[in-house]
Amino acid sequence: MCNLAPMLNWDDLRIFVAVADTGSLTAASRRLGVDHATVGRRLASLEAELGVRLVDRLPKGTPLTDVGAEFAELARSMADAAERLQRRARDASTSLSGTVTISAPPVLASHFIAGSLGSLRERYPGLAVSLSGDVGLVSLEQRQADIAVRLVRPDHLSHIARAIGAVHLGLYAAPLMAAMPPTDWTFIGYDAALAHVPHHHWFERYAGDRAVVMRSSDVNSQIAAARSGLGVAMLPRFMAAPDPELVPVDPDATPPVRTIWLVTHADIRKSPAVRAVADHLITLFAKAPAFAPD
């Protein structure tokens, strides 16, 4: 049985758990947001401290050794306990200060939430916000975010979720494309990163046999391509409707509506700082007619 010495570096343990979970230094570096060399260096430091080899460094990954697998279970337990302690401490805090991390889809983060943070700062001068535009789902358990704004309803038992609005989609194109017969339309679709979402499937059925001439998961790129006359794109109405270079097409089409969920971890939902930011987001979306639910 491995014994975890009290002098072990917590950051080294956190990095090792990420390597154990992902199976490679590269994947661990992406998960933690640090460079590949740092992950390798900290892992080597931990192995030197313990005097054992934890992973096999192979060309296509870093599988755990037998000792590494045993150590990983112990390290995960320690990491889970430390994260619970941090969340409980955050929940017990009565201070409206510090940094609250928000994860949101890139379009909502950059085109809606970011512009509202000045008023939040005026109301709570001691608060700072870290706003991350994430395509994927970050882990609230691992404190990758304090608040997540998501377009998918969470099913984790420790998550507290509230519907705060909806993203309405429509079909838009440049005027010249819109003036063509619908049988001649070309389309700007989504790439494989969003192939699992309901509106992707709706769009593919709508396009049918007509050509999809560009695919992208980046809405800004889709808008730029639609403006150029490349094709018809399915876009968030709150962005496309005010755009003078785009016009709606086939207004009777009904793409799926995406519900917006605000999600926090149960352990920190009562933290005054987290609550203040969550209330700000709830009010922000409630006051915006473009995000009103059907």
Q: What is the pLDDT of residue 88?
A: 61
The β-bridge relationship of strands 258-265 and 232-236 is unpaired
pLDDT (0 to 100) of residue 109: 94
| Domains present along the chain, CATH in parentheses | 10-91 (1.10.10.10), 96-165+258-291 (3.40.190.10), 169-248 (3.40.190.290)
The phi and psi torsions of 274 (rounded to 5 degrees) equal -65, -40
Specify the pTM.
0.65
Q: How many alpha carbons lie under 13 Å from residue 43 in its C-beta half-sphere? A: 29
pLDDT of residue 271: 82
d(Cα 123, Cα 118) in Å, to the nearest integer? 9
Q: Provide the pLDDT for residue 180.
A: 97
Give me the pLDDT at residue 4, please.
46
Residues of the chain with pLDDT under 50: 1-6, 94
Helices of type H across 93-215? 106-108, 117-123, 175-178, 198-207
Rounded CA separation 239/259 (Å):
17
Instruction: Give residue 195's pLDDT.
Output: 65
